[in-house]
Amino acid sequence: MVNIHQYWVYILSNKTHSVLYIGITNDLYRRYMEHKNGIIEGFTKKYRCHSLLHYECYTDVNEAIAREKELKGWSREKKETLIKSANPNFWNLAVELKWI
């Protein structure tokens, strides 16, 4: 039996969408809940990044890491264009996923 791993590259924002955070995880639900509940010290806790605006799934960790680095190098405008391509209203996708 082949065990397929999943890795997620995701973008979070705060209520006013004034900041964007890009991260990577092997468990998107767990990581989202850690951010939402303020368990993770740092940027997302300080700026209350609780809105999941975008996520991508990869089976190769190196591809996911490369994508995270690529997105982090993009301008804010390019990041917003990516988000709007699948989430034009900047909704919190955690609601759609029924996580909250």
Put the strands of the sheet holding 51-58 in their side by side order. Answer: 20-25, 7-13, 51-58
Domain boundaries, the chain: 7-96
pLDDT band at residue 76 under the 50/70/90 scheme: very high
- Average pLDDT score over residue span 7-33: 97
Q: Comparing C-alpha atoms, which of 15, 17, 35 is closest to residue 25?
A: 35
pLDDT band at residue 33 under the 50/70/90 scheme: very high
Q: Phi and psi dihedrals of 80, rounded to 5?
A: -65, -35
pLDDT band at residue 2 under the 50/70/90 scheme: low
Outline where DSSP puts E strands in the chain: 7-13, 20-25, 51-58
> What's the CATH number for 7-96?
3.40.1440.10
pLDDT for residue 4 = 83
pTM score = 0.93
